[in-house]
A and B are shown apart, each in its own frame.
Chain A
């Protein structure tokens, strides 16, 4: 028997509301099948299962809000008998507690760590308490967030983790002991939250991820001015013969160039968790997409290095459209191994990003505009340029390599026909 747990769909997610089951007890499921729809802070997401099996029991009802890592359902592996599985069945975990299968010696578990087991392809950081903070309150990031959300004073909490660290379970317990717990299970009505609540949730999710990033990731920042005359000319020519519906945007060229440049710089593409870096096997670029009502989401565009521009462009258009419509897939929420942000349309000169944990880098593009330039012969001229930036995690890479990455990006954009 195995457990299907609520996966983390990004570092900024610590709970979700089950909107709908797509399967029932007794159903056979196959790997990759959408089995449930979960409402996260940002959007309603189709949740896929990552193992074949047969549904034994659904443990969470539609409308319930549960922490990441909660067992949503138990399933039988192929060939397994129901009787044998039932005999070894584990009781349903108390709401709010991390799953029972967690090794007891694990320090200050965050809910994201529990989600790393089999149900999600993305390694999520368990984020042990940072050394050197002994004088302060020892508390896991997830617990800190939960306490903030509930308005609890972390100084007043008793920790049950190693060295008295406050765990998520401690926060939940303290919250339950309060007369008016705001963490009460959501009613089904809460599943269709009004737009203002969604906005609040998105702000909170961004605050959580970005605060964690600034707390944990030692960023370094690099800028490079890239001549864009060739890319612009190539794009203008490519679009000249095309109907408007198949025209390319510069953003598509930039994404492709980033993906190709990453091939030689694996230390910028992957995930940092549990004190170590795991390079990603593919270039799934998180594309920062602003929402009209405010806030942003950076879902993954998959295998960008493999996509011809004529495939990449409609895939990008579709991703933007679905992001704004709030209909993203689990893999898109969880797979991004680096983020690209393009604020050029708003006319800014350059953007220096904040890394989205557990990723280790973010590439930014400012506005493409005509600017003074000194050419190879030493002559002053006016050419279109763009400022590309890299913010990267110093635990994993150094400025020297980051600089080589930006130089590679610059060279790739001089050969647009090869993108």
Chain B
């Protein structure tokens, strides 16, 4: 919590941009924040790993594998990243 957190809009934009680097077909306006992300976007386990690698590099946040289970929706992701100073 030490870092000054990004505002929500910036954080969302970063998450979406990272997602689009993996899945270019994503249309942000069609994504529902509270629905499971992988039901909305076709991401296999390699895509998912690359997505999290991208987030952890852009936001300088470590994401242990044991936390993957909490990261289901876009909202989960943003809450998690915010809590970690992203």
Contacts and interface: CB of A to CB of B under 8 A. Distances in A.
Interface in A228-261: 236, 239-240, 243-245, 247, 249-251
Chain A contact residues (Cβ within 8 angstroms of B): what range? 10 to 19
Contacts of A316: 46
A244 B53 CA distance: 6
Contact of A244 (B45, B46, B62): B62
A239 B65 CA distance: 7
A250 B23 CA distance: 22
Contact of A292 (B23, B45, B46): B23
Interface string B44-58: 111001101100100
B66 A245 contact: no
Contact of A249 (B23, B25, B45, B62): B45
A292 B42 contact: yes
Given A317-B46, A320-B46, A247 B23 contact: no
A248 to B, nearest CB: 9
A316 B50 CA distance: 12
Contacts of A243: 62
Contacts of A418: none
Contacts of B43: 345
A199 interface: no
A318 to B, nearest CB: 11
B23 A240 contact: no
Contact of A236 (B42, B49, B56, B66): B66
Interface string A190-233: 00000000000000000000000000000000000000000000
A369 to B, nearest CB: 13
A249 B64 CA distance: 14
Nearest to A249: B45
Contacts of A51: none
A290 interface: yes
B44 A345 contact: yes
A250 B68 CA distance: 14
A290 B46 CA distance: 11
Contacts of B24: 292
A320 B47 CA distance: 9
B63 interface: yes
A317 B22 CA distance: 13
A249 B53 CA distance: 13
Nearest to B48: A345
A16 to B, nearest CB: 27
A244 B52 contact: yes
6 contacts: A245-B53, A251-B46, A292-B23, A292-B25, A317-B49, A344-B45
